[in-house]
Structure 1
Amino acid sequence: MTLASVANPDLVTLFDNKPRWQLPDYRRRGFHNLHTTARYALSLRAPRVLPLNKEIDWTIGERTGVARFLAMPHFSAFVVVRDERILYEAYAPDFGPERPHPICSITKTTLNLMLGRALADGLINLDEKVRTYLPEIGTGYAEATVRAVADMNVANNFTEEYEDTQAAIYAFDAAFGWRLPPEGAKEETTRSFIRGIAGDDLANRTGHHLYKSTNSDVIGWIIERASGRSLRDWLIEIVEAAGLEGCFHITCDREGVPLVCGGACLTARDLARYGLLFARKGEGVDGRRVGDAAFIEDTRRNPGPSLPSPREFMFYSRQMFTDGTFISHGGLGGQNMLVNPDTGTVVIYFSVLENKSLSDLNFSSALIRMMAELAAEL
C-alpha cells in the first residue's frame, strides 16, 4: 500500500501567487521563522565572537524620526553600533536580540566583499563579458559585462515588480524552495533557472538601475567559477571575519548553492557585526580580512546608475546602494542595513510589511533618510 501525502501547507501557493507564509495574515510569523520554513538551507557559525558592549544613548530613541519608525506596527528590531559599542537597540514585543530575521536582499552585500577580493586577486575583470566565465549562460546575461550585472544595469526578460503577481521573481522562488513548484512542473535549481533567462539587446536605456535579484546569483556563480572556491567557503570566511555570535542561516537550492541574492537570516546584532566589516573597510576579528578596502571605497565614489523617485538620492553600485557617503541595502518586507564608513556607524532596521507586495518605496526611502541622518550625526 502506498502512503498518501499532502502538499506542505506553508509552501503551497494559495492566492496572489504567494505561499501561505508570505500572505499578509501569516507573514509576520513566516518572516520570523523563515530559517526553518525554506526547503533547503545552510547554517554557519563563527568560532570566535566580536564582543559588543552596551553604551546606550537614550536620546537616539527620542529623535522624532527614530521614534516614528519604532512605533510602526510592522517594526521588529532596531540596532545602532559604532566600533564595538551598542549605542541603541529596541525590539518589538514578539521579537528579541536572539531571534534570527530574514535580511532578504541585504544578503547581496556579501558579494561586494567577494567581488572586491576576487578583483584585487586578479581573478575577475569587471569589463569582461559574463560568457567569458560562464559559457553555459543564456542570452539574458551572456553579452553583459560583469560590471553591468553587479551594478543592476542589464535589460533582460526577468522581472521583479512584486506588485505584478505574474512577475518572474515568483517563479524563481520555487527554484530555491521558498514555495513548491506548480503541480507537475520540474524541480528547478537556482542556476538552471538563471540559464533560462533570455534577452536580446541587454543595454539599459531606462536612465536608472534595473533591479534584478538574479544578477546577484550570476555574480556569485562567476566568483565561484573564477576562484575555484565554493560560495559556502566564501561565506564561512565572511562569517568568521565578522565574528558573528549566532548562526548565519542561508537558503540554498536542492544542489546546495547558497541564495546570495537574498537568502540569509540572522539576528539584528549579528547583522550589525557584519556591517562593521564595511565600516572597517574589510578588517575582521583577529586580523582576518575580507573584501578589499579600495573596492569598498570605489563603491561609494564611482557608483553605477541612479534610482528613480522617491529614492533619487541614491545610486546602485556593486551590489550596494550609496549616496556617496553611506553604503546600504534594503530587503524585501522592510529590512535595511546602513553603514557610514566616515563615522564608523552601522544602523540596522528589521520589519515585516503586511501589504500585498511586501514592499513600499515611500516607506523605505524615508527609512533610509532617517538612518543616514542618524549615522552621520552621532
Structure 2
Amino acid sequence: MSRHRIIPNPDLTVGDDNKQRWNQPEFRRHGFHNAHRLFRRCLMVRSREVLELESAEQNLCARVPELAEMLAHPAFSAFCCLKDDQIILEKAANDFSALAPHSIQSVTKLHIHIIIGRLLGQGHLSLDAQVCDYLPDMGSGYAKATVQSLLDMSVDNDFTEDYADPKADCYAEEVALGWRLPDADEAETTLAEFAASITGFRANSGVRQADYKSANTDVLTLIAAKVSPIPLAEQIEEIVDASGYEGAFHISLSKDGYPAFSGGGCLCVRDLARFGLLLAREGRDLYGRTMANTSFLQETLIRHAPAMTPPKNWLKYSNQIMTDGRLIGHAGYGGQFLMVDMVSGTSCAFLSVLENDSGYDDAYMGELATTLRDVCFSVI
C-alpha cells in the first residue's frame, strides 16, 4: 500500500460554492492573472513575427472621465488602446503588467468568428445547415439548431448560463473546458460528451434578444474541428501570426483535445489590443494579405441579429461578435472587454477581475462597454 500523501489538486477542486479555488472570490484575482498555468491542460502559441508598436500617448482620461474611473476601480487589471501601430494609452494595476497573460474569458469567442468565417469562405460550411448535418451524434439540445442560430446566440434549449446560480450548467461545462475537476467519483467529461448531453431544443424563429449560451460556441468548435481541412491548433497559429503578438496566446484544452474557444483564452492586454487591430484590418495579416473572411465580417456588422440584453442592448449579437454596426468586440466573464472601431481603426482592450460572489455585474459591464465606446470615438 502506498504511503504517499495524496490530495486533489487544490486549484481545480470545487468548493462548497461550486467553484474551483482559482475562481472563488478570494482567489479570483490571482486565478485570472495566472489562469494560463492553472488550467488542467493548455495550448500555448507564439507568433512568428511581432507587430512593433510606438508610443503616441493621448490624454484619453481628460476626454473621457469615465475611463479614469474605470482605471481606478478595484477590479482593474490592465488597459491598452492602440491605433494603427501606436500605443495611445496603456495602464496596468499595481499588482499586474500590460505584458502579463490574463484570462480573457468569452472574448475568446471572437476566434470562432474568424474560424467559422474562413470555413464558410472555403465552402466547408453552410449557415442554414443543422448541427446534426455535421455532428450526427449530437443530443436533442442542439441537433436541430442551425449553424446561424449558434453564431447569433439564438438557440433555445435547457442549457443555463446564470453566473449567480452555483448549479447553472455553465459551471458543469467547466469540467469539459479543463477549468475544474469533477467530483471524486466521476470521470472528466469530454467536450463532445458535454455538448451531446444538453437537451430541450425549442424552435424559436424570430428571436429579438440574444439568449447567451457559451455551449453554442462549444458546438461550433466541434463543427469547425469536423470540417476544417487543417487542425484547430493550426487555425490558432494562423490567427496568432496574423496578429503579431509579442507574448504568448494560451488556451485551455478539453480532455478530447479541443481548444476552449468559449472562454479559455489568455493574452496580455497589449496583445489583446493587437488582436483587435487584426479585426480592424478586416482580417488582413501584417503584410496586408487576407487571412479571415472579410465579406463575412462586413456582413456581420450590417445584418439583422438579436439585441444584447440591457444595459448592453445598444449592441446586437451577430456571428459571435457584439456590434452596433460600427464598433465590434466582445465582453468576457469577470470584467473583460475588447472594443474595436471599424471606422477609425482604434482597438481598446480592458482586463479586470470582479471579486463578488458571481464574478459578474451587469451594471459594471454596461458601464465598461459605453466607456470603451466613448474612448474609441475620442482618439484623434
* TM-score (norm: length of structure 2): 0.96
State the one-letter code of the partner of 1:361: D
State the one-letter code of the partner of 1:297: Q
**Contact 1:155 1:204 (8 Å CA) reproduced:** no
Matched with 1:41 is 42
Matched with 2:242 is 241
Q: How does 1:1-378 map to 2 (within 5 A)?
A: 1-2=1-2, 3-60=4-61, 63-203=64-204, 207-378=208-379
Q: Deviations over 1:53-97 (max 9, x none)?
A: 111113446631110100101100011100000000110000012
State the one-letter code of the partner of 2:120: L
State the one-letter code of the partner of 1:136: D
Deviation at 1:288, TM superposition (A): 4.2
> Equivalents in 2 of 1:235, 1:112: separation in Å?
12
Deviation at 1:208, TM superposition (A): 1.0
Deviation at 1:189, TM superposition (A): 1.1
> Equivalents in 1 of 2:276, 2:265: separation in Å?
14
Deviation at 1:202, TM superposition (A): 3.6
Higher mean C-alpha deviation, range 238-247 or range 203-212: 203-212
State the one-letter code of the partner of 1:284: D
**Contact 1:60 1:88 (8 Å CA) reproduced:** no
**Contact 1:108 1:260 (8 Å CA) reproduced:** yes
> Equivalents in 1 of 2:207, 2:243: separation in Å?
37
Query: What secondary structure sits across from 2:88 in the alignment?
Result: strand
Gaps of 5+ in 1: none
Deviation at 1:303, TM superposition (A): 4.0
Deviation at 1:228, TM superposition (A): 2.9
* TM-score (norm: length of structure 1): 0.97
**Contact 1:112 1:291 (8 Å CA) reproduced:** no
**Contact 1:241 1:289 (8 Å CA) reproduced:** no
Using the aligned pairs only, state the percent identity: 39
Query: What secondary structure sits across from 1:248 in the alignment?
Result: strand
**Contact 2:280 2:340 (8 Å CA) reproduced:** yes
Deviation at 1:7, TM superposition (A): 0.7
> Equivalents in 1 of 2:208, 2:267: separation in Å?
35
CA 204–179 in structure 1, closer or farther in 2 if over 3 Å, else same: farther
**RMSD of Structure 2 on Structure 1 (CA):** 1.4
> Equivalents in 2 of 1:304, 1:248: separation in Å?
30
Query: What secondary structure sits across from 1:43 in the alignment?
Result: strand
Query: What secondary structure sits across from 2:322 in the alignment?
Result: strand
Deviation at 1:24, TM superposition (A): 1.0
Q: Deviations over 1:26-47 (max 9, x none)?
A: 1111110110101110000011
State the one-letter code of the partner of 1:233: E
Gaps of 5+ in 2: none
**Contact 2:150 2:220 (8 Å CA) reproduced:** yes
> Equivalents in 2 of 1:263, 1:103: separation in Å?
7
